[in-house]
Amino acid sequence: MSLFDWFADRRKDTPISKERQERGIADDLWRKCPSCDALTYTKDLTTNFQVCPSCGHHNRIPSPQRLAQLIELDTWKPLNDRLSSADPLEFSARQPYTDRVRASQEKTQLQDAVITGIGHLRESSDRNSIPIVLGIMDFRFMGGSMGSVVGEKVTRAIERATAEHLPLVLVSASGGARMHEGILSLMQMAKTSAALDRHRAAGQLFISVLTHPTFGGVTASFAMLGDIILAEPKALIGFAGGRVIEQTIRQKLPEDFQTAEYLLEHGLIDAIVPRTKLCRRLNQLISLHQPRPTASNGTRPSGPHDRSSSIPFTAPPSPLN
């Protein structure tokens, strides 16, 4: 018997113990990309905002992690962070709705599927630090579904941005409306949209950021009402799922249907921004939309894109005169 055969037989007779297997998994030093199967050192993946350095795949991230990527945490002031879902319909399927909410709260350490607050964007200069009202949805909490609490928190965030003349940024990740609350969840679509209309009428900026996935009632309401709509690469965005659409229209859909790239090509979003560049892009866009400085006489210099500039207008004679 050769030395190689002796080592091979010994290896067969001494399998890896379960304790060693569990210890290797628990270390979690490496992450396998679900898109390209590349192995990446976990710390490198965290440094790169959970974006695969090999193929650019954007892993789903929780809302606290995204908050740390966008906001200087020492400036963050949460809004309405104690709101929690009730059960007005006393909904029960495999388990009561209240039990599902409680389980999600324990799992995520969140009160519901969105966090909102006011903070200063990262990467902005000390001289021109930019405060914004920010809302971030979390898909871990019942699929990021929009119920009464999500709708209320988003509406209050919009109203706070309008009242304080602050830019508004909402980051969406949702499977749609929360059917456990029935018509009450669907009413949130109208409520958030109405608040955004008042925000727009006040001349304030709203940037919507779409991440994977953004579907259902969130897409059909505030997610697609941004003055500027950004999306992460390869994010799936739509109302109904592709399989439902195919069964309804009885036609084969394109391979890239409902991806951010497809929506950009068809003019439904404004830009695709990698997560690693999102904060810088938000700084650029918000800076471009800041009010112009006032002149010495207290008036703003007029310009072709200045909303405050006035154009002389003479009303036509009334046909009743």
**Beta-bridge partners for 11:** none
The domain ranges of the chain are 60-288
Determine the Cα–Cα distance for residues 189 and 177; give it in Å rounded to an integer: 9
Calpha distance 142→104 (Å, rounded): 7
8 A C-beta contact, residue 142 and residue 99: no
* Of 185, 189, 191, 181, nearest in space to 219 by CA: 189
Residue 5 in tokens: 């055969």
- Gap between the Cα atoms of 203 and 55, Å rounded: 40
| Check whether domain 60-288 has CATH 3.40.710.10, yes or no | no
Nearest residue to 204 (alpha-carbon basis) of 227, 221, 230, 188: 227
* Three-point CA angle 58, 63, 67, nearest 5°: 95
Per-residue pLDDT tens, the chain, 321 aa: give them.
Answer: 565 565 556 555 555 555 544 444 445 899 999 999 999 999 999 999 999 999 999 999 999 999 999 999 999 999 999 999 989 898 888 889 999 999 999 999 999 999 999 999 997 655 567 899 999 999 999 999 999 999 999 999 999 999 999 999 999 999 999 999 999 999 999 999 999 999 999 999 999 999 999 999 999 999 999 999 999 999 999 999 899 999 999 999 998 999 999 999 999 999 999 999 999 999 999 999 887 655 555 555 444 344 333 334 344 444 443
